[in-house]
Amino acid sequence: MAPDRIAFGKKTLGNRLKHLKAAPEPCSRLAVAGWQRVLESTVSHVSGSQTMPSNKRLEDLKVFISNRDSRCDACNEALGRHAWIRLEGDGRAICLACADLDHLVFLPSGDAALTRRTRKHSRLSAVVLKWSRARQRYERQGLLVEDKALTQAELECAADAKTRAARREQAAERRAELDQAYIERFASRARELYPGCPEGREQEIAEHACRKYSGRVGRSAAAKALDDDALRLAVMAHIRHAETPYDDLLVRGVERGEARERVSNQAAAVLEEWQRGAGPSTPSTTDP
């Protein structure tokens, strides 16, 4: 029987419900109310027609995960708890082997791109549903699909992942270029304003300032950080850390405001010296 030709007519539904209600086996193992809902929705699906429309995808096939011990109505094999079964048109619950679906592989829900692609490639697929006692309804667990289709989809998704990674890399490179340009501008302006700054320090200060704005604020803030006031603050902060015992004071637990106050004269003197362009900096005074 072609899977897209399974009839779910209203008469069949009636028979099946009768079957479910009359016979304790196998329906007692399943939630009858749940089955009923599924059957009704299936019937409304094919309303009037005894067969699925030919343009209807095969994904409309449903496989149920039983919530109790089950036995296949076709081969009579004990399927154990949580068996995967298929409902036949005559109301029988049969195992996937008997339903000719056991060559399919299970793809759990969760990866939308992979699911969409797999479904596209899989000529035959079935929705896997499980009865949720808590929610009193069937919930989709995933799809049964052709192995080949899943592999194909996985390859496509992997290729995508590469593209996405490449795009991220390009963005990072672009960002690095922008940052590099910013650092150069900042450093060269610092050199202009503070000609006495020891060689290489302007680079250090510029890189620190760049790290500060990087990733946090927009380019406007970066541009703002290039004005002379902002630049002076950045140079001052550097001087405190590199040319005064400021860090040592902090390490010793001196409160930040007080530490700044204690080194302020020394820091101001260094700043003035750098501004004047009085040659190389005085030796570090960070020694206590």
Strands 84-87 and 61-65, by their bridges, are antiparallel
Q: How far is the CB of 75 from Zn ion (least distance, A)?
A: 3
**Closer by beta carbon to Zn ion, 98 or else 206:** 98
**Closer by beta carbon to Zn ion, 27 or else 153:** 27
Q: How far is the CB of 173 from Zn ion (least distance, A)?
A: 58
**Closer by beta carbon to Zn ion, 81 or else 252:** 81
Strand ranges, E, within 74-216: 78-80, 84-87, 93-95, 105-108, 126-132, 137-145
Whole-angstrom distance between the N-terminal and C-terminal Cα of the chain?
92
**Closer by beta carbon to Zn ion, 69 or else 184:** 69
**Per CB under 5 A, which of residues 91..150 are in contact with Zn ion?**
95, 98
Long-range contacts of 81-90 (CB under 8 A, 24+ apart): 84/128, 86/61, 86/62, 86/126, 87/16, 87/35, 87/39, 87/62, 89/6, 89/7, 89/8, 89/12, 90/12, 90/15, 90/16
Residue 176, both tokens: 């690095």
Size of the site for Zn ion (CB under 5 A): 5
**Backbone phi, psi, residue 274, to 5°:** -65, -35
Nearest to 93 by CA among 139, 123, 62, 132: 62
Amino acid at 73: D
Q: How far is the CB of 109 from Zn ion (least distance, A)?
A: 26
Q: How far is the CB of 27 from Zn ion (least distance, A)?
A: 17
Residue 41, both tokens: 């929705």
Is residue 88 a contact point for Zn ion (CB under 5 A)? Answer: no
Residue window 36-75: x/- pattern of binding to Zn ion, with contact defined by CB under 5 A = ------------------------------------x-xx
**Closer by beta carbon to Zn ion, 100 or else 228:** 100
Q: How far is the CB of 63 from Zn ion (least distance, A)?
A: 13
Residue 8, both tokens: 């779910």
Quick one: which H or E segment has residue 192? helix 147-193
Q: How far is the CB of 172 from Zn ion (least distance, A)?
A: 55
Binding site for Zn ion (CB under 5 A): 72, 74-75, 95, 98
